[in-house]
Amino acid sequence: MQGAFAEHIRALEACGARTRVVRTAEDLEGLDGIVLPGGESTTMTMLMERVGLYGPLRSAIGAGLPTLATCAGMIVLARELSDGMPAQQGMGLLDVAVRRNGYGRQVDSFEADLDIEGLAGKSFPGVFIRSPLVESTGDVKIIATHEGRAVAVRQGRIVALCFHPELTKDLRLHREFVRMAAAAAS
């Protein structure tokens, strides 16, 4: 609907995935996985509600559709949200409490080398831009931290990241997501 979807498409296609943009409930048909990109979480949610995608998307992810949620995507899925717009809520599908823009404003953006559990090779370049801050976790597996705070979690078939892997040249996280989606589809 809004956000860094073009960058995710580039990364996923470089990993051999076939992609399509999802803008309506009908676009969910036949998907092996979905990416909820970074962007502006309030705008994303309002647009999804306006076109009737919010409920069907929530149902599909809740039923096990493999999902990669980055930055604003994590906010959209969260069970609890602070510093949101009035009445803004997450879908409640990811057992985390997050604070919008918890790492600061655009001028506070930074990169950090992250060790991500299950990701072979060197550290991963985490790009943090107006990123959510995970304030607490419930029934999720923390797969990466930065300065003692969770920045990447997994819950079932959902992988949620505070950072933007699509803004790097490192395709390892997208490759892992493609593998997870393919395994779920077979």
Question: Which residues are catalytic, by number?
Answer: 71, 164, 166
Is residue 34 a contact partner of residue 126, using CB atoms and an 8 Å limit?
no
Is residue 97 a contact partner of residue 80, using CB atoms and an 8 Å limit?
yes
Is residue 40 a contact partner of residue 48, using CB atoms and an 8 Å limit?
no
Phi, psi (deg, nearest 5) at residue 124:
-100, 135
C-alpha torsion sign, points 23, 159, 3, 121: negative
Question: Which H or E run includes 128?
Answer: strand 124-128
Phi, psi (deg, nearest 5) at residue 185:
-75, -25
> How far is it, in rounded angstroms, from Cα 31 to Cα 60?
10
> How far is it, in rounded angstroms, from Cα 24 to Cα 45?
13
Is residue 116 a contact partner of residue 106, using CB atoms and an 8 Å limit?
no
